[in-house]
Amino acid sequence: MVAIGVQRVHVEKALADGRESCDDVVAVEEPLEIRVLCDGEEGLGRAISVTMRTPGNDTELALGFLHGEGLLRDWRSVRRVRPAGPTGNVLRVELQPGVDLDLARLQRNFYTSSSCGVCGKASIEAVTSSVLVRRMEQDWTIDGRLLLGLPARLREAQAAFSATGGLHAVGLFTREGDLVAAFEDVGRHNAMDKLVGSRLAVDALPLANSIVLLSGRASFELVQKAGAAGVPLLAAIGAPSSLAIELAEQAGITLVAFLRDGAFNIYTHGARLR
């Protein structure tokens, strides 16, 4: 059985003594166009973004993207989300009557590469001026040793990664270290959008009592999306960027990285860890 989000392909494997034909599985990557239709408008609505993603949880991805960009603050603003067209790669978000879309906040090109994330922004200045991140207060602490067990729990939930080795994952954990939800995608920012959108859809934002773990590095855009969702503790198995550290410091987010091999680095607001 092939896991969701992967596709079987035929390959030639090069060996020391020649080649052999065999099957392999790869991560699926397809475009998703997000369109928004305000009350009173007709047709497919306005194109907001095109992202290369792994199909699955597209509704959550769209909701999370709109939330992270500051265009959608409340799930009650959405009337319905449904595919538009025959391909399944266009998604239309229909807003409730009276909900206006502040497109001036969207300082993004309409194409966002799944690999580059923040490079779709017009400039760093546009990014930093458009983020909707409020500073979080430290109102709880955890034993820092709890973080050491989270990567293995996330890894167990990464079915598509196990098959392909080619997808990023984001996991949502309680303060006790229990895995609540995990999402995979070829784009790390898409995986975060799927997670945030899933919580938005059940009116579970902000994530003030949660820990979010990234399977890869911590970029500025992921810290931005975490901050907009109210995540107070963001951990990454990979490295952080300088701008991610700066934003986490400003937003009151505890940023942990290089969480592996029984150790981690604390970059900002380490008082949450005892």
pLDDT digits (tens, 9 = 90+) for 198-227: 999 999 999 999 999 999 999 998 999 999
Confidence of residue 41 (pLDDT cuts 50, 70, 90): confident
Question: Is residue 225 a contact partner of residue 68, using CB atoms and an 8 Å limit?
Answer: yes
- % the chain with pLDDT above 70: 84
What single-letter DSSP state applies at residue 165?
Answer: S
From the number of C-beta atoms within 10 Å of its C-beta (0-12, 13-18, 19+), residue 76 rates as: exposed
Active site members? 116
Torsion of CA 69, 74, 75, 79, to 10 degrees: -90
Residue 157 neighbours by CB distance under 10 Å: 15
User: Which tokens hold the place of 6?
Assistant: 């992967």
144 vs 128, higher pLDDT: 144
Of residues 187, 149, 174, the one with CA closest to residue 56: 187
* SS3 (DSSP) at 210: strand
Evaluate the CA torsion angle 115, 71, 194, 221 in order and state its sign.
positive
Look up the pTM and report it: 0.87
pLDDT for the residue numbered 1: 46
Q: DSSP alpha helices (H): ranges in the chain?
A: 58-68, 124-130, 150-156, 159-164, 188-201, 220-228, 242-251
Q: For 82-86, 99-103, 227-231, 246-250, which range has the lowest pLDDT when averaged over its residues?
A: 99-103
Task: Examine the pLDDT at 151 and tell me if it is beyond 90.
Answer: yes
Evaluate the CA torsion angle 48, 50, 54, 55 in order and state its sign.
positive
| β-strand partners of 184 | 169
Question: Is residue 267 a contact partner of residue 240, using CB atoms and an 8 Å limit?
Answer: yes
In the block, tokens 């080619």 appear at: 166
Q: For 193-202, 207-216, 243-252, 254-263, which range has the lowest pLDDT when averaged over its residues?
A: 243-252
**Mean pLDDT value across the chain:** 86
The amino acid occupying position 45 is G
**CA–CA separation, 112 and 147 (whole Å):** 31
**CA–CA separation, 252 and 256 (whole Å):** 13
Confidence of residue 270 (pLDDT cuts 50, 70, 90): very high
Name the phi and psi angles at 54, rounded to 5.
-85, 120
Of residues 89, 93, 63, the one with CA closest to residue 79: 93
Strands 30-37 and 90-95, by their bridges, are: parallel
- Ordered domains of the chain (ranges, CATH): 30-130 (3.10.20.10), 144-272 (3.40.140.10)
